[in-house]
Chains A and B, each alone.
Chain A
């Protein structure tokens, strides 16, 4: 069992590496464009999730307990709470500190981080605001696929994202009713959650 102090350290980012990585990603984009960067980010996140151990739970409640305590790979890097059995809310983006350090030390976040998100939104799924969401959401999808509950694979879907600067991205209107129904929350409850949290997402089995 991971202690609270260790858990805080786990969630905290390493601003030195984060800033260095953002700059390196910008260089990749210079050479390979938004599509090349998008592929790199997705493979980075996939690689990370696949390097972590698979998980199996007998019941959904066991999974919820592991998510809350940070013992599941899905919440290894983020602090979450669950307003319903299927809806997961991330309080703070694990990339926030690195981003803040970047704008403090280097300057405004390069436009390429939004451009690659636009590429991802039109070619993969329309749920990201910047490059960091590509990593995060790809990681969650691959990590969820490594978890089974009662023998069934866990599925993940992003519902909404809010970045540190206040920018918001909610899934398209035609997707929203289905996802909200699965998550067990209303549109109003979603907006309430988005006031002071960074991500609202969904876990379920088929």
Chain B
């Protein structure tokens, strides 16, 4: 109910504070949530991935996160510095359904917020909720260390409720991943992201 109440505010908020004001609001919500969940430390990637599977990490509030351990990210020395992770279902799909069956339709501002975010910040949003989600993951990653090293999260691809997909050229270039690899993942997942050690020097042509 609380989620539907928030959605009903988006139109009003966007009319009063502007679409960019709504983006800032969602980013603060995501940032706040990550900050309050707190810090975590792991010995290595296996322990982090097990914690993720068992729902013990900050990321786990999103639901069942699947570590794609066959998709490791390696650095110039060939060491594993990260993995690709995915959600089978976007966290917000149940909310979108609840809005559909209680209010009737998503407010027009949903589209407007996503488009403004895509134009001004990162071309990855398929709905306005992607704003909160991307910020939440970025901030959560900063709170986690593996073998003493801070992590960073990069949102790679999203698939929306209506089937629209977005693939982040910016982040794929950074990881040197072929977009077709990620496009294939979107057939089975709705949100794909990377978690890796911050500042890792990646192997070219990975």
Residues of chain A whose beta carbon lies under 8 Å from any beta carbon of chain B: 2, 6, 9-10, 12-21, 23-24, 27, 44-45, 47-48, 51-53, 73, 76-78, 94-95, 98, 101, 105-106, 132, 135-136, 139
Contacts and interface: CB of A to CB of B under 8 A. Distances in A.
17 contacts: A2-B101, A10-B97, A17-B132, A20-B132, A21-B3, A23-B29, A44-B6, A44-B9, A48-B1, A52-B102, A52-B104, A77-B1, A77-B4, A94-B1, A95-B2, A98-B2, A101-B61
B98 interface: yes
B169 interface: no
B94 A12 contact: yes
Given A21-B29, A47-B12, A14 B5 contact: no
Given A47-B8, A47-B12, A105-B37, A21 B103 contact: no
Given A51-B103, A105-B61, A20 B29 contact: yes
A48 B99 CA distance: 10
Interface string B1-37: 1111110110010000000000000001110110011
B36 to A, nearest CB: 5
Interface residues of B, number: 33
Contacts, number: 103
A137 to B, nearest CB: 12
Given A14-B91, A21-B2, 11 more contacts: A2-B101, A15-B61, A16-B91, A17-B92, A17-B132, A19-B33, A20-B30, A44-B6, A47-B8, A77-B98, A132-B2
A196 B157 CA distance: 44
Task: Select the residue from B9, B37, B95, B102 with max chain A CB neighbours within 10 A.
Answer: B102
A77 B103 CA distance: 11
